[in-house]
Amino acid sequence: MSELEKDLVFAGVDTHKDTHTLCLLDHMGRAIGTFRFAADAKGYDALAGKIGGPATCVGVGVEGTGSYGAGLTRRLLELGYCVYEVMVPGRARRKPGRPKSDPADAEVAARQVLARANLSKPKDQSGWTEELRQLMIARDRLVQATAAMINAAKSLIVTAPEDLRRSLEGLSRKNLRNALSTLDPAAGGIILALGSLGKAWDLQDREADAIEERMKRVLEANAPALLAIYGCGTVSAAALAVAGGGNPERLRSEAEFASLCGVAPLLASSGKTERHRLNRGGDRRANRALYQIAVTRMSYDQRTKDYVGKRKRDGKSKKEAIRCLKRYIAREVFRALRNPLEIKGPSWKDLRPARQALGITLVEAGKALNVGFQKVSYAETGRLMNVRFLEEYDAWLKSQAKSES
Burial of 308 (0-12, 13-18, 19+ CB in 10 A): buried
Distance of alpha carbon 88 from alpha carbon 73, whole angstroms: 16
Is the torsion defined by CA of 373, 375, 376, 378 positive or negative?
positive
Angle ∠(229,354,223) on CA atoms, nearest 5: 25
Is 348-404 assigned to CATH 1.10.260? yes
Of 34, 55, 37, whose CA–CA distance to 47 is shortest? 37
pLDDT at 92: 40
Please answer whether residues 266 and 276 qualify as being in contact, where contact means their C-beta atoms are separated by less than 8 angstroms. yes
User: What confidence score (pLDDT) does residue 127 get?
Assistant: 86
pLDDT score at 335: 92
Contact 285, 243 (CB under 8 A): yes
Rounded to whole angstroms, how far apart are CA atoms 287 and 262?
6
Q: Which CATH number among 3.40.50.850, 3.30.420.140, 3.30.420.40, 3.40.309.10 corresponds to the domain 3-120?
A: 3.30.420.140
Domain with CATH 3.30.420.140 in the chain: 3-120
- Give the strand pairing for 266-267 and 276-277: antiparallel
Gap between the Cα atoms of 157 and 236, Å rounded: 34
Helix (H, G, I), strand (E, B) or coil at 37: strand
138-171: per-residue pLDDT in tens? 999 999 999 999 999 999 998 888 888 888 888 8
Residue 237 is predicted with a pLDDT of 95
- Which segments within 222-314 are labelled E, that is strand? 266-267, 276-277
Question: Chunked in runs of 10, what are the mean pLDDT values of the chain (405 residues)?
Answer: 72 93 91 93 93 90 88 91 81 57 89 87 86 95 94 90 87 90 84 91 94 94 90 93 90 89 79 70 90 91 88 86 91 92 77 90 91 88 78 89 81
- Looking at this protein, which amino acid is placed at residue 316? K
Q: Which residue intervals of the chain bear CATH 1.10.260?
A: 348-404
By CB neighbour count within 10 A (0-12 exposed, 13-18 middle, 19+ buried), where does 250 fall? middle
d(CA 165, CA 344): 53
pTM: 0.78
Residue 321 CA: distances (Å) to CA of 233, 298, 311:
22, 10, 6
Residue 91: predicted pLDDT: 46
What's the DSSP call for residue 249? Answer: G
- Local structure of 310: helix, strand or coil: helix
Compute the distance between CA of residue 359 and CA of residue 393 in angstroms, rounded to an integer.
15
